[in-house]
Structure 1
Amino acid sequence: MQRVRIKMEIIVRNKRIDDIPLLEVFRRDHNSKKPMIILYHGYLGRKESVLLQAYLFATNGFFVVVPDAYGHGERSSGQIVNLFTSITESVSEINKMIDHYRDSREADYTRVGLAGYSMGGCITFSYLTLKDKRIKAAVPVISTPDWVSIIENLRTGELLAEFKAQGIIKHESEVEEYLKVAKEIQPINHYEAMTDTPLLMLCGEKDNVTPPAGVKRLYEMLSSVFFDKNALKYSIYPEVGHGDTLEMNLELCEWMKRFV
């Protein structure tokens, strides 16, 4: 039997859209414009942190845009950026990035999926609450729309000590300020704005940073009002903590193929 070799060339290209540094990851071929995935990394990460995941999606035919979130990577001032500031500022930039590809010969700006890990998932949840959404599907991974639960977890000694060691929190009083902001802006408060976009939520059963309970609660709130029951799903992976897995990323990829 003759073996057939298929050569696949994946391009990783540095780019800047105004003050947003990003990577474009895509398969070089002569096909028509590719559907897009905008992919966000986690807190204190950078665009290169999710390059392997972007590579997987690119091999499946997507044009993947991986920005540095606000205050991260090339955009870091050297000081640790406030979590909620990074989320809200990053959300405000997404439509600008999509519009940039309006005249692209490689990416189809009318077919966009949004995904992210941990903080990147929070960015995804938050974007879904906007009136002016320009995406076809969303997949937050190891994340939660219930930001109060994230901050309440900091009250446990182990996590608080870890955040202090990283310089994220310098004093316990900051936790109360974070909690106040979380209560005001968390996406689950605006669940009614999320009913019109295909949504897959991927969680680790043993995630103690972004507990899956918030995802379960959002699913229950949305299930009776969602535009299509087949376009709403959450998956909880047994024995998985606060980290993504290959199986999660494959499920993410299939969701994007289906809806984007």
Structure 2
Amino acid sequence: MIVKNEEWKAIPLLHVYDESMDNETPVVIFLHGFLSAKEHNLHYAYQLVEKGVRVILPDALLHGERTTHLTENEMNLNFWKIVLKSVEEVNTIYQELKFKQLLRRDNIGIAGTSMGGIVTSGCLAIYPWIKTAGICMGTTSFTKLAQHQVDEFKAKGIEFPMSNAQQEATFKMLSHYNLEQRMEHVKQSPIIFWHGQKDSVVPYRMSREFYDQLNEKQEQYPIHYITEPNAGHAVSRNGILMVTKWLAQHLA
């Protein structure tokens, strides 16, 4: 297994593959969580490469090699800037894969944990070329999560640095990335969710309500949902194995 630290279009990333792989090999872009970094997801890359998938692990804006040493509060205030930049950079990486002749066919998946799962959901909403996806501890609605974050700030007595008008404008802009409003993309891209029921960072309902609503309508969507009743904001080993197996199978 080969792990190369590379930079594509000013995006630092780990490129993980083995010598048997070529431009016919499927690819997964795997996105890390908030305050994490690309190398923290190498265990996912190991599982995927073992299953015949090339993996790209990028550092998000202000993370890893791109850190500017902001405080946690400053990072929190930049959360949506980081998420939207990551959504943009997923497309940049996709275009670079094509340019570098590493992706002859569009056999590509996107996955991530926490913030990376949120970015994955946003990518699914706007990019029709994604063949499959894994959303771990994410959300299918940027606007619902943003409202939850505002409520959390207020509950803690922290002054939120945006007027009501600015908040409304931000919510309207974020709604463009709500996966639940892009159901045609859901039908064409099989998705696996993993979410612990005791998650206190990204509430379980942020992804589960979407799945339950689809079941109530009895519509046939290629979605699989894994949950663990006692799990918090950390994917279990079983979750890691099931998510990577799903991605590899749907790219085979």
Q: TM-score, normalised by structure 1?
A: 0.79
Following superposition, the deviation at residue 107 of structure 1 comes to 4.9
The reply on whether 1:185 has 2:174 as its aligned counterpart is yes
Report 1 or 2 for greater relative contact order, CA contacts < 8 Å, sequence distance ≥ 6.
Answer: 2
Distance 1:185 1:103, change over 3 A: closer
Deviation by residue 1:195-246 (Cα, 9 ceiling, x = unmatched): 32111111001111111212122124445486x53x2121111211000111
Provide the secondary structure at the position in 1 that maps to 2:91.
Answer: helix
1:216 to 202, 208, 232: 208
Whole-angstrom distance in 1 between the partners of 2:39 and 2:105? 23
Following superposition, the deviation at residue 74 of structure 1 comes to 1.6
Following superposition, the deviation at residue 176 of structure 1 comes to 7.6
Whole-angstrom distance in 1 between the partners of 2:161 and 2:41? 29
Asked if 1 retains the 8 angstrom alpha-carbon contact of 2:32 and 2:38, the reply is yes
1:163-202 aligned at under 5 Å gives the runs 171-174=158-161, 180=168, 181-182=170-171, 184-186=173-175, 187-188=178-179, 190-195=181-186, 196-202=188-194
Following superposition, the deviation at residue 29 of structure 1 comes to 2.5
Asked if 2 retains the 8 angstrom alpha-carbon contact of 1:153 and 1:208, the reply is no
Following superposition, the deviation at residue 179 of structure 1 comes to 6.3
How many pairs align? 238
Q: Match for residue 144 of structure 1?
A: 139
Q: Match for residue 61 of structure 1?
A: 52
Q: More helix per residue: 1 or 2? A: 2
Following superposition, the deviation at residue 42 of structure 1 comes to 0.4
1:45 to 36, 40, 50: 36
Asked if 1 retains the 8 angstrom alpha-carbon contact of 2:124 and 2:179, the reply is no
**Structure 2 alignment gaps of length 5 or more:** none
1:31-180 aligned at under 5 Å gives the runs 33-79=24-70, 80-81=74-75, 82-102=78-98, 104=100, 107-108=103-104, 110-130=106-126, 132-147=127-142, 148-149=144-145, 152=148, 155=151, 160=156, 171-174=158-161, 180=168
Q: TM-score, normalised by structure 2?
A: 0.82
After superposing the two structures, state which structure 1 stretch, 49-58 or 179-188, moved more.
179-188
Asked if 2 retains the 8 angstrom alpha-carbon contact of 1:152 and 1:179, the reply is no
Letter of the structure 2 residue corresponding to residue 207 of structure 1: D
The reply on whether 1:20 has 2:11 as its aligned counterpart is yes
Q: Which structure has the bigger radius of gyration?
A: 1
Aligned Cα RMSD in Å?
2.9
Whole-angstrom distance in 2 between the partners of 1:29 and 1:210? 38
